[in-house]
Amino acid sequence: QDGGDGHDEL
């Protein structure tokens, strides 16, 4: 969840 492709913020 830290970093990687899962950016959920704008």
Partner 1 sequence: MNIFRLVADLMHLGSILILLLKMFTSRSCAGISFKTQALYLIVFVTRYLDLFTHFVSVYNTFMKIFFISSAGYILYMMRVPLKDTYNKHLDAFRWEFLLGGAGVLALVFTHKYTVIETLWTYSIFLEMMAILPQLLQLQRTGEAETITTHYLFALGAYRALYIVNWIYRYETEHHVDAISTMAGIVQTALYCDFFYVYFTRVLKGKRFKLP
Residues of the shown chain interacting with partner 1 in the complex, contacts defined by CB under 8 A: 1-10
Task: State in angstroms the smallest separation of the CB of 6 from partner 1.
Answer: 7
Task: State in angstroms the smallest separation of the CB of 1 from partner 1.
Answer: 6
d(CA 10, CA 5): 13
Task: State in angstroms the smallest separation of the CB of 4 from partner 1.
Answer: 6
Both tokens assigned to 8:
């959920």
